[in-house]
Chain A
């Protein structure tokens, strides 16, 4: 399974998922886009990130419930199941760089959070 080429979002594929105020600072929320589960995170500085909600280590869809933080300045989330830490920017697992979760483009339009899942 390869995920690297999913990154560039095509214009027009943005899906509105919730209002920006639905997201709490330094927490995640799960959203359903089609049949795909996406975890959307809001960091302390207000930036948004979106990752696949599947924790590749446990096989459970729980990434949105992890603890948001930083490692060496880079924003991260730790899987709530066994605490592996993933970069919110690249999706790469900092504890096992051979493993990654998909990342998705996310933006705010007029107070609405939109995710692009191709």
Chain B
């Protein structure tokens, strides 16, 4: 056992806990072989985020990466464990020998023995396959019932509501979420959920489930005889550990199920561990991601001969369900308590305190969970302030200082001390760095605002200042320019900055001025702010020549225009290539050739493609319903309309978009800053997608929008991004760093929670109505044209350092050997 080099580790079950185990082992350089056998047809995925699958996340988005060197067998079930020969047998007919076996078989939803529970239309809520089946069944359904009003039950109810069903929830106990809230919290929570149109039945059981004439579920009858119409029934009445394999091979199991393990997560057989929801640790089965992750880490440590121990876990929870924040931490009772209840605003908060009124024991929050982050670390410790103040702790600025041993991230068990240590040792400067180094904030994300505060308190300048010339962030400069009506860089730096700027702040301010419609980018002083690409309205290439990219909206172009591009390229000796954005790049133009090239292009009806700017690039499209036999909407028409609407819009970084005419997604819209996918009813809008260095699929912001609603939503999304993003921050990173994320974005731009939508609309309207083609304006202005020369004292002489050779029948730059002058 000590020689881990040849150790054969077999893991049964491939869920989040198994993933955490193999990831931890891989990260610690485990040298043995690892084989994971999982019965689901796919590798482990994020079950906490399961419901997001129904609102547009793909299986790939949710799937965890498999560490190198690990063998994962999906769709294979272990049927028996032979402890004597140390092998497991699978339903694939083979066996796997092991030196160490880890059982991570998870749990199965508990389905109470009611009549009709096996009818078609009855489901559980645990796997992606379950969700696919629920979605299919919901297509022709009108109403659904969820049995169980706990955390998972309400999540399932949210899913049914999202699928358009009239949704009922049946809960045995007297209130919703009985494990997390008390009676007062339960009634406030119920008020919120009923306000969304769901029907709640508490203190209710299930008499029977009745079939209709088609043999499928038609209704659910309560013991009191009341019948609830439902074509879909979801059982979410608790979980049972999957301990059948352990039972069959004689491992010790608990009276009510669960594989008995010691502090090191080892079962009654020293070669077998059990972790996650199948394990009974200290008499408890843990169903929350945080404790399960800790168990996985403890088992990994023990396999590596370490001494880690699992001695229980913080069962605190904070979540947002159906738009309501719910949080519970520490104990749910105490000698003394302080309660705040606002039934009108739908807020309930209660803190439990020891009888000497000195120690915080726990708390419950519904409707406003701000105290959770601030107070959870103080459970069992002296109260950090007057109880009445603490009820409102966490609102606005941090009001309390955390002790070092306070747990900040409960999903990954990271303390404040660990985070501070990482910040100091590794010189971390941002939240992403803290996430990468400590894992804090990487699971549910609720502690991210706290990570920011800790960074600030650790004396880290969170990098807000744009550069040495401005102490402001880009978003702050945007507000200053907007509110104060500033029109020049000189005015801005004189009043709000120092020095004369640099290559960081000048283009950033130029972009802000352009976003706010303060004139042509080469007018007056603005010209000197632009990066070389914007100065010459073309993209600089490695030999100092430029590329020319005419706009081809939606990728649609006439033969005549194609011929013009070909002729221009031929006449000016340019290299041509089709870009990834459905347009044509002409490369190798000298700076003095640009005006003549563009005169030809403008005469033929082309406009600047803004390939050189931090601006809208292209709105790519598939061929759409006009030609494609699968298309359900005119994707080309919409792409052209959007490209013409947002052309020339300056933004913190480049903007890409695409429109797909059906769910086959040929335009790859989900990899764009804003992507649109046609549905039978309208358009689905995805935002925050990105290709590039760190690919990210866009998140579904809204579904089945009419074209008008779609355009208004994109208008506001873009303007809100332009107003608040950091310099060179793509929408993907912006969205990931936005406090409150997608929900917050929806509130701001779809529900107008900040009251700024009218202003965002007006700013976009101004952009659309004042747009002029930058290249046309340039070739019509002799003053601007004067700058397009090789040498001011020899405008007729081309730069002698530029030369070309031929490759595959086109030009290719000849590069000058580099001669760096070292002193």
Query: Which positions in A face B, CB cutoff 8 Å?
Result: 1, 3-4, 16-18, 22-27, 29-32, 35, 37, 40, 43-44, 54, 56-62, 65-73, 75-76, 78, 80-81, 83, 85, 92, 97-102
Contacting pair B544 A62 (CB below 8 A)? yes
Residues of A within 8 A of B468 (CB): 71-72
Contacting pair B499 A62 (CB below 8 A)? no
In the bound complex, what is the Cα–Cα distance between A114 and B500 (angstroms)?
Answer: 25
Contacting pair B821 A100 (CB below 8 A)? yes
The stretch that binds A, out of B176-184, B603-611, B793-801, is: B793-801
Number of A-B contacts (CB under 8 A): 129
Contacting pair A18 B792 (CB below 8 A)? yes
The stretch that binds A, out of B134-142, B527-535, B578-586, is: B527-535
Known pairs A17-B792, A25-B525, A32-B791; A67 contacts B503 (CB<8 A) = yes
Known pairs A61-B544, A67-B507, A70-B502; A99 contacts B790 (CB<8 A) = no
Cβ of B822 under 8 Å from chain A: yes
Instruction: Give A45's nearest chain B residue, CB to CB.
Output: B500
Cβ of B98 under 8 Å from chain A: no
Residues of A within 8 A of B505 (CB): 69
A-B contact pairs, 11 of them (CB 8 A): A1-B821, A16-B793, A27-B528, A57-B820, A59-B819, A61-B801, A65-B536, A68-B528, A78-B503, A98-B822, A100-B823
In the bound complex, what is the Cα–Cα distance between A16 and B793 (angstroms)?
Answer: 9
Contacting pair B500 A75 (CB below 8 A)? yes
Cross-interface CB contact of B503 among A29, A57, A69, cutoff 8 Å:
A69
Cross-interface CB contact of A32 among B500, B794, B820, cutoff 8 Å:
B794
Contacting pair A29 B792 (CB below 8 A)? yes
Cross-interface CB contact of B792 among A4, A30, A35, A76, cutoff 8 Å:
A30
The stretch that binds A, out of B114-122, B267-275, B810-818, is: B810-818
Contacting pair B500 A44 (CB below 8 A)? yes
Most-contacted residue by chain A among B490, B529, B815, B823 (CB, 10 A): B823
Cross-interface CB contact of B791 among A25, A30, A67, cutoff 8 Å:
A30
Most-contacted residue by chain B among A18, A27, A92 (CB, 10 A): A27
Cross-interface CB contact of B499 among A3, A29, A70, cutoff 8 Å:
A70
Q: Map CB proximity to A onto B466-483 as digits: 1 under 8 Å, 0 otherwise.
A: 001100000000000000
Instruction: Give B525's nearest chain A residue, CB to CB.
Output: A25
Residues of A within 8 A of B823 (CB): 4, 92, 97-100
Min C-beta distance of B749 to chain A, whole Å: 34
Instruction: Give B797's nearest chain A residue, CB to CB.
Output: A32
In the bound complex, what is the Cα–Cα distance between A76 and B531 (angstroms)?
Answer: 15
Contacting pair A60 B544 (CB below 8 A)? yes
Min C-beta distance of B16 to chain A, whole Å: 43
In the bound complex, what is the Cα–Cα distance between A19 and B425 (angstroms)?
Answer: 56
Query: Which positions in B face A, CB cutoff 8 Å?
Result: 468-469, 490, 499-503, 505-507, 525, 527-533, 535-536, 540, 542-544, 591, 787, 790-794, 797, 799-801, 815-823
Residues of B within 8 A of A76 (CB): 502
In the bound complex, what is the Cα–Cα distance between A4 and B823 (angstroms)?
Answer: 9
In the bound complex, what is the Cα–Cα distance between A98 and B815 (angstroms)?
Answer: 23
Min C-beta distance of B529 to chain A, whole Å: 8
Known pairs A31-B791, A32-B797; A101 contacts B500 (CB<8 A) = no
Min C-beta distance of B543 to chain A, whole Å: 6
Known pairs A31-B791, A69-B500; A56 contacts B821 (CB<8 A) = yes
Residues of B within 8 A of A98 (CB): 822-823
Known pairs A18-B792, A59-B818, A99-B821; A69 contacts B527 (CB<8 A) = no
Contacting pair A43 B500 (CB below 8 A)? yes
Instruction: Give A77's nearest chain B residue, CB to CB.
Output: B503
Instruction: Give B790's nearest chain A residue, CB to CB.
Output: A30
Min C-beta distance of B470 to chain A, whole Å: 12
Instruction: Give B786's nearest chain A residue, CB to CB.
Output: A22
Residues of A within 8 A of B821 (CB): 1, 3, 56, 99-102
Residues of B within 8 A of A59 (CB): 815-819
| Closest 10 pairs between A and B when the two form their complex, measured CB to CB | A80-B532, A78-B503, A60-B544, A69-B502, A70-B499, A26-B528, A67-B503, A32-B791, A65-B532, A18-B792
In the bound complex, what is the Cα–Cα distance between A31 and B543 (angstroms)?
Answer: 18
Most-contacted residue by chain B among A4, A35, A59 (CB, 10 A): A59
7 other A-B residue contacts (CB within 8 Å) besides A60-B801, A62-B532, A78-B502: A16-B793, A24-B527, A25-B528, A30-B799, A35-B800, A70-B501, A80-B533
Min C-beta distance of A107 to chain B, whole Å: 15
Instruction: Give B543's nearest chain A residue, CB to CB.
Output: A60
Contacting pair B499 A73 (CB below 8 A)? yes
In the bound complex, what is the Cα–Cα distance between A84 and B454 (angstroms)?
Answer: 33
Residues of B within 8 A of A71 (CB): 468, 499, 502
In the bound complex, what is the Cα–Cα distance between A24 and B527 (angstroms)?
Answer: 9
Residues of A within 8 A of B506 (CB): 67, 69
In the bound complex, what is the Cα–Cα distance between A66 and B504 (angstroms)?
Answer: 12
Cross-interface CB contact of A85 among B502, B542, B815, B818, cutoff 8 Å:
B502
Residues of A within 8 A of B525 (CB): 25-26
In the bound complex, what is the Cα–Cα distance between A117 and B799 (angstroms)?
Answer: 18
Contacting pair B822 A24 (CB below 8 A)? no
In the bound complex, what is the Cα–Cα distance between A60 and B503 (angstroms)?
Answer: 19
In the bound complex, what is the Cα–Cα distance between A31 and B801 (angstroms)?
Answer: 14
Residues of A within 8 A of B536 (CB): 65
In the bound complex, what is the Cα–Cα distance between A98 and B531 (angstroms)?
Answer: 25
Cross-interface CB contact of A67 among B531, B800, B815, B818, cutoff 8 Å:
B531
Min C-beta distance of B785 to chain A, whole Å: 14
In the bound complex, what is the Cα–Cα distance between A16 and B794 (angstroms)?
Answer: 12
Min C-beta distance of B797 to chain A, whole Å: 6
Residues of A within 8 A of B815 (CB): 59
